[in-house]
Chain A
Amino acid sequence: MARIGVFICHCGENISATVDVGKVAEAAARIPGVAHSVDYKYMCSDPGQQMVQNAIREKNLTGVVVAACSPRMHEPTFRRACAAAGLNPFLCEMANIREHCSWVHEKGDATTEKAIDIVRTLVAKVKKNKALQPIKVPVTKVAMVIGGGIAGIQASLDIANAGHRVILVEREPSIGGHMSQLSETFPTLDCSQCILTPRMVEVAQHANITLHTYSELESLEGFIGNFKARIRKKARSLDEKLCTGCGLCAQKCPTRRIASEFDAGLGLRPAIYVPFPQAVPNKPVIDREHCTYYLKGKCRLCEKVCPTQAIRFDQEDEIVEVDVGAVVLATGFDIKHSDFFPEYGYGKHKDVIDGLQFERLASASGPTLGEMRRPSDGKVPETVVFVACAGSRDPAKGIEYCSKICCMYTAKHAMLYKHKVHHGKPYVFYMDIRAGGKMYEEFVRRAMEEDGVQYVRGRVSRIFERNGKLVVKGADTLLGARPMEIEADMVVLATAGVAQAGAEELAQKLHVSYDAHKFYAEAHPKLRPVETNTAGIFLAGACQAPKDIPESVAQASGAAAKVAALFSQAELVREPLIAVVDRQAPPLYSSCVGCFLCQSACPYQAIEKEEIRGRDGQLLKTVAKVNPGLCQGCGTCVAFCRTKSIDIQGFSHEQVHAEVLALLNRGDRDA
């Protein structure tokens, strides 16, 4: 006979405000098989857990239902508590009466009734639960970091310094990411490249780090501690071992008028190129879409001038296979280039540029060598208008979220402009200024007060050209929404920060979830910000949401700490919530008839054939068998099986049937 203990949590007032917890406890006590039923203010607190443990010992419980928050929140907590009191942890279930009940319904009888329903459902389930033993699996102590921007660099260095091997995969020919494109950084105005390039070199030289640039993840299979990754190394058309990075090829390349990605389209590069002088590795790639040889079949000038004969026109993409135990996603973000606001004339007027282009204009390594000259005619702009929120916080035309970094970088841009053009007039149109961060508000005030940047609170309705000037029409809402026009020489749009191109495809390869804007989803918005829902895959930097450099670095170190913690264990304990095939005594041996429909359903190739032989070695039967190392517990095979011979632990036929019946008030009769 089952002896179930039911523990109902008030969660302060989170549950008890809308659910009559006393009534739930009374009702639970009347459910057949329930030996103990209590309610308490905070079940997850130390005394609360103690209550559960005492009851297990004193009442000799065979199962526990904690009616509280989501199992995604505290299931591990209570299972641990049960285990400590000698009850198999898999005999403990959570009844979610907070997220699925008290928080989503109004106070009333119906809500309390639903809470009782939920408790009854889980009591019915737990009666059918079986004591399970955790599965132990080995850990491959190698981490793969995807994305070589500042977040990926930081995560790689931290993991490598903890003594573990790291494979860093970067899509572009060089690591460095957006940070390498920036001029100076807020709020200190130190030079971005000066603080970044030493880190890049450290990555290249670190004994524990293997760098794959110009490479992309092809596929990822397996599970935490035991992933198998396939990396596509795109053909650089170059033997990297022979290349010395002398740069002669790039100097001599006759195809020179290609818009440079690194300079955000403001500068030019040849067809064989290193994205920027401090690139790591300092080895060029041939852009086959523009190279004359690939287009027309002749030229090969780079091959002729190369002193070490390193050019390889016939090189093909290479697939590298690696075993890794953990993955850190650090693929970063992009800014929206296309026009949310056609009326701003981005793409139409050369002197309407985006924030990243301004960074290149202000950068000493940029196309103007740091001189403030506008793209159309190279003149020094006398009046510059900066438009914040060009797409952000605008559900009607852009995106609803705040891109977070624009307030700060717009203040920085206006300041940098003023520092370079002393007599210049910078204006900033803004909605609100969000400068939360250490020294951030002070930085914005400095732009206003010391550098004389004119801040206009209002939005821009239109930008058009008149007599060689860019007329910016807007309104000053602090002066009674007075319409105003500014004749500018250049306009900088703080366009919205968006997910990196290809973010969705990558997420699907890794089976991590992402939000409506294709930013990767963290496991918990507050308490698990660097983990994904997929065990063993972690997040760092702006691929999760737009972030500035300090935040990206902090998150990267957080992800690295998680990886190091994972790698500190010799083997991992996995929940045994996996499929099992029926086995029974002779002469049947198993109810499995060997149709192997399950094999075709399994996404993990976890189902094997097992031959059952008699003592004389004669083949009696071929049946299915689940490889517990490969099975992930999705249960697709269970629904496929025609003879119900395969079942999944934790969500067995018995358990879910009992749940459905109990929920629909029929449990007592059928039980």
Chain B
Amino acid sequence: MKTGFYPGCSMKGSAREYSESLLAVAAALGRDLPEVPDWNCCGATAAHNLDPDLALALPARILAAAEKEGMDEVLVPCAACYSRLSVTRHELLADEALRRRISGLVEADFRGSARVLNIIEWLAAIPGLEGMVKAPFARRVACYYGCLLVRPAGVVNFDRPEEPQSMDLLMKKIGAEPLDWAFKTECCGAGFSVSRTDLVAKLSGLILEDAVARGAEAVIVACPMCHLNLDMRRPNIERRAGKKYHIPVIYITQALGLAMGLPAKKLGLQRHKVAVKFPAANSAAKDI
């Protein structure tokens, strides 16, 4: 079983720490994650709003490259990329004529032999994760799945589209206490991060408010866009809400890395806008 890794643009830019922590965890688990050779942009979110062919062609080229490399599955940590690659695979496999046409457009033969995995699927399939935990991540966490990880249900066939549980189960494995909260799959504002910061401030603000009100010590995310909005847009959120939120937003791989005893620097925790500090209630407040 050969697993490839498709980083996408975020993992190389605004979400460097997601990539750093993922690779650090993979190394600690002894898993090799070669990048898909000569990968390109997945097209999110511009392509599928403008040109249906382009929206399918971009992911098809990535998948075809992975297949050519003999990869049986491709790990796509970014939820937006995951959605684009999953939708493309689903549509092309359902329509032989379309598959042939798009393959022709990208001059590569997409056959659909490589499965598309999101970060949770990949982690959940690793046996004995519990045994790797050295410093249990004993925090109350709000697992935030966002909109694209679990939807559309017929395409991704992953967890329940409402009230998903898979990230919660992973968090339990590393000693955290996942909270039952109401905003697991609500919209963070996503693509409006740049153009409509007011909307982002409102939507992301509601998410933080509910997490904090239920006593969460951290929000766990699996999407660079969610992280961007909940972390980098924190000043906008606070201005709109008229109050301060100190709750850190952590990638699932960072939480895992911490539990496995990896150094914070290697996990890129210093790159967050909101300092990763935990309230004193559970343990002495300290910078990690």
**Chain A residues near B (Cβ < 8 Å):** 341-343, 348, 396, 462, 464-467, 471
- On whether the beta carbons of A342 and B153 are closer than 8 Å, the reply is no
Interface CB pairs A-B, < 8 A, 20: A341-B162, A342-B160, A342-B162, A342-B163, A343-B162, A343-B163, A348-B180, A396-B153, A462-B162, A462-B182, A462-B186, A464-B181, A464-B182, A464-B210, A465-B182, A466-B182, A466-B210, A466-B213, A467-B213, A471-B182
CB distance from A576 to the nearest CB of B (A): 52
Q: Is the interface of A mostly helix, strand, loop or mixed?
A: mixed
Number of A-B residue pairs, CB cutoff 8 Å, is 20
Tell me which residues across on chain A come within 8 A of B213, comparing CB atoms.
466-467
B170-184 residues with Cβ-Cβ distance < 8 A to A are: 180-182
CB neighbours (8 Å) of A467 from chain B are 213
Query: Which B146-161 residues have a C-beta within 8 angstroms of A?
Result: 153, 160
Residues of B within 8 A of A462 (CB): 162, 182, 186
* Chain A residue at minimal CB-CB distance from B162: A343
Interchain nearest-CB distance for B206 vs A (Å): 10
Chain A nearest Cβ from B106, distance in angstroms: 32
How far in angstroms is the closest Cβ of chain B from A468?
Answer: 12
Alpha-carbon distance between A407 and B160 when the two chains are bound, in angstroms: 28
A345 to chain B, nearest CB (A): 9
B44 CB → nearest A CB, Å:
24
Nearest-Cβ distance from residue B153 to partner chain A, whole angstroms: 7
B163 to chain A: which residues have CB within 8 Å?
Answer: 342-343
Q: List the A side residues contacting B210 at CB < 8 Å.
A: 464, 466
Taking the closest CB of chain B, its distance from the CB of A136, in whole angstroms, is 57
Bound form: Cα–Cα A29–B154 in Å: 55
The docked-state distance in angstroms from the alpha carbon of A465 to that of B162 is 16
Expressed in whole angstroms, the Cα–Cα distance for A467 and B214 within the complex equals 10
Output the nearest chain B residue to A344 by Cβ-Cβ distance: B162
Q: Which 6 A-B pairs have the closest CB atoms?
A: A464-B182, A342-B163, A343-B162, A343-B163, A342-B162, A342-B160
Q: By CB atoms of chain A within 10 A, which of B153, B160, B162, B181 has the most?
A: B162
Expressed in whole angstroms, the minimum distance between the Cβ of B143 and any Cβ of chain A is 15
Measured in the bound complex, the distance between the Cα atoms of B163 and A467 in whole Å is: 20
Besides the known contacts A466-B182, A466-B213, A471-B182, 10 further A-B residue pairs in the complex with CB atoms under 8 A apart: A341-B162, A342-B160, A342-B162, A342-B163, A343-B163, A462-B162, A462-B186, A464-B182, A464-B210, A467-B213
Cα–Cα, bound, A107→B170 (Å): 60
Cβ contacts under 8 Å, A471 to chain B: 182
Q: Which residue of A lies closest to B163 (CB)?
A: A342
Chain B, residues 200-221, CB within 8 Å of chain A (1/0): the string is 0000000000100100000000
A660 to chain B, nearest CB (A): 35
State A360–B160 Cα separation when bound (angstroms): 32
Give the complex CA separation of A341 and B160 in angstroms. Answer: 10
| Alpha-carbon distance A342/B182, docked complex (angstroms) | 11
Chain A, Cβ-Cβ closest to B186 = A462
Interchain CA distance A95-B57 in the complex, whole Å: 53
Smallest beta-carbon distance B203→chain A, Å: 11
Q: Compute how far the CA of A562 lies from the CA of B146 in the bound complex, rounded to whole angstroms.
A: 58
A462 to B182, CA, bound (A): 8
- Give complex CA distance A467, B182 in Å: 13
Chain A residue numbers with a CB within 8 Å of B186 are: 462
- Closest B residue to A396 by beta carbon equals B153
In the complex, A224→B156 CA distance in Å? 51
Chain B residues within 8 Å of A396, by CB: 153
How far apart sit A348 and B181, CA to CA, in the bound complex (Å)? 12
Give every chain B residue within 8 A of A342 (Cβ-Cβ).
160, 162-163
CB-nearest residue of chain B to A471: B182
Residue of B nearest to A341 (CB): B162
Cα A343 to Cα B163 in complex, Å, equals 6
CB neighbours (8 Å) of B182 from chain A are 462, 464-466, 471
